[in-house]
Homo-oligomer: A and B are copies of this chain.
Amino acid sequence: MSQTVDRALSILPLLAEGPADLGQVAERLGVHKSTALRLLRTLHEHGLVYRQSDQRYRLGARLFALAQETMENLDIREIAHPHLVRLNEACGHTVHLAVYEEGEVLYIDKVESRYPVRMYSRIGKPVAVTVAAVAKLLLADLPEPERRALTDKLDYPLYTARSTPNAPAFLRELEQVREQGWATDLGGHEESINCVAAPIRGADGRVVAAMSVSAPNVVVTAEELLTLLPQVRRSADAISGEYSGRTPVTDPTRDLA
């Protein structure tokens, strides 16, 4: 909607690929070098872009700080965290919390496994949306048209032989997930890793987040992991209760200066 801002923001994903110098930025934006320079300078003043010693630009530290603050301001996360910790203490495995936003699912909290073998994941990283248990729960609850539109334009990468292969299969799976109220990922993302997940609902019953327990085959079999399902669901329901009670659409903003 605003050309100048649009151009400036287009620089960010470009730099996310790796450092670039002024000429490269200008070329990829399709603007004059002087224009690119002014945009980069503005981004720099705000700390979103950093100029390293070799004069090339890369993304800046402020991005981390912003991402950090965003996360800490998410009220679901705050409410859920102690429950995740408790569940982790009870079962010992890695516990994740995830939310949906604009076609993506991302982890917003994580409590690490106590076992030495850990699965790789990082808070803030977009989740493999076609296979992850938490993603299935979040997508299953979308209004039908949105769900349809999304599943249509998704890719279905075959991480393993058990990955969801295409849109129709995925839609069927989502249907089932929605009805049973829980989801699994049995080696669909990484051959040797299984997850069980349960939904967290707001006061209106809509799914606002999902949590999961993940563990590699070498620690527990898929069957053993499934026995944890009741525990996971109880945790999720407890969070749902607190969340519905405390924060329907409340606004704790206090700055009427």
Contacts and interface: CB of A to CB of B under 8 A. Distances in A.
A90 interface: no
Interface in A10-56: 10, 12-13, 16-20, 24, 38-39, 41-43, 45-48, 50, 53-54, 56
28 contacts: A5-B8, A5-B43, A6-B46, A8-B9, A9-B43, A9-B46, A10-B46, A16-B65, A16-B66, A19-B73, A19-B251, A19-B253, A24-B253, A24-B255, A50-B101, A50-B102, A53-B249, A61-B101, A61-B106, A63-B63, A63-B67, A64-B106, A64-B123, A64-B124, A65-B106, A65-B125, A67-B67, A112-B112
A70 interface: yes
Given A2-B38, A9-B48, A20-B253, A63 B66 contact: yes
Interface residues of A, number: 58
A58 B70 contact: yes
Contacts of A123: 64
Contact of A124 (B2, B68, B73, B101): B68
Contacts of A48: 9
Contacts of A43: 5, 9
Contacts of A56: 251
A43 B16 CA distance: 17
Consensus secondary structure, chain A interface:
mixed
A60 interface: yes
A107 to B, nearest CB: 9
- State the number of copies, please: 2
A180 interface: no
Interface of A: 1-2, 4-6, 8-10, 12-13, 16-20, 24, 38-39, 41-43, 45-48, 50, 53-54, 56, 58-61, 63-71, 73, 101-102, 104, 106, 112, 122-126, 249, 251-253, 255
Contacts of A64: 67, 70-71, 106, 123-125
A64 B72 CA distance: 12
The 3 closest A-B pairs by CB, nearest first: A64-B124, A59-B70, A16-B69
A20 B255 CA distance: 10
B66 A2 contact: no
A45 B6 contact: yes
